[in-house]
Structure 1
Amino acid sequence: MRATARTPRPKPGRATVAFWTPALGHVREPGSDKPDNATIVDPDGRGSAIGFLKVPEGRVRAPRDDDPEEVRGHDRLHFDIRVGAENHPEVVAKLIARGAMKLWDGRHESHAWVTMADGEGNKLCVA
């Protein structure tokens, strides 16, 4: 399986790739670090490869009223990391240690999640 994360920046933010590589337990794909793209892969070959590619488009939605200023211009990349509610505190703490910011807690019926932003303002949810 191959997933793609598109970024509107002139080239994929190195901080974005550096954040998501260990956050997902991936490694850089050898030879994939080019000016307009980078790919990270599951080192065991079981999970997805994720490509970060340059795209010409800008924002795809208006910011929410409760979005912090730091994340108002970035929402082209959004991952959901499913770890189970009992693991939220540990995973959130690890992501904050890597430079993420906690934005808010969410809940819908029995489903709970934590919305965060990586170091470049791209939103993610720990679910």
Structure 2
Amino acid sequence: MTSRLTELSVDCHDPERLAAFWCEVLGFTVIDRAEDQVEIGSWEPTVEEVRARQMPPTVVFSRVPESKAVKNRLHLDVSPIDRSTEAEVTRLLALGATRADVGQGPGRSWVVMADPEGNEFCVLRTLAPQ
């Protein structure tokens, strides 16, 4: 048997704020709260389901005292499913994201952004029906 990817953990200053932002971005809901920690997901995981098959990981936001200092070594990519990439970028800007420059250069098919605490993520090509 192998291991399963069950959670992606994100260090942050304000777990509630970042969880709310990512819930809006991904259409997730809060599935658990603990002191200084918020977990969001598209489903409520059970041990039995995780054992049976690979399921989408949840995202856990944990409060830490230090600030983000350098470009993320790991980041999320998102693809809009019901609008163009540019329309999704506009929506995410309204939610509190910002455009980010990580040296990607012009003419890319994706847009690099940062969440409200500066964690980079990319908006990829649209998956909306043509």
Short-chain TM bin: 0.5 to 0.7
Specify the alignment match of 1:40 in structure 2.
40
Q: Matched residues in 2 for 1:88 and 1:120: separation?
A: 22
| Alignment of 1:22 onto 2:31 | no
Query: Is the strand fraction higher in 1 or 2?
Result: 1
Structure 2 vs 1, CA of residues 121 and 98 (structure 1 numbering), >3 Å: closer, same or farther? Answer: same
RMSD between aligned residues: 3.5
Structure 2 vs 1, CA of residues 100 and 8 (structure 1 numbering), >3 Å: closer, same or farther? Answer: closer
Task: Write the letter of the residue equivalent to 2:96.
Answer: G
Alignment of 1:38-117 (within 5 A): 38-43=38-43, 47-54=56-63, 61=70, 75=72, 78-83=75-80, 87-104=84-101, 106=104, 112-117=109-114
Indicate conservation of the 8 Å contact 1:102/1:117, yes or no.
Answer: yes
Can you list the C-alpha shifts for 1:14-69, whole angstroms capped at 9, x where unaligned?
2211100110110110xx211232111115987432222356887574x5xxxxxx
TM-score, length-normalised on structure 1? 0.63
Specify the alignment match of 2:9 in structure 1.
5
Tell me, which stretches of 5 or more residues in structure 1 are unaligned? Answer: 64-74
How many residues matched? 109
Indicate conservation of the 8 Å contact 1:6/1:77, yes or no.
Answer: no
Percent of pairs with identical residues = 28
Q: Matched residues in 2 for 1:5 and 1:22: separation?
A: 18
Tell me, which stretches of 5 or more residues in structure 2 are unaligned? Answer: 46-54, 125-130
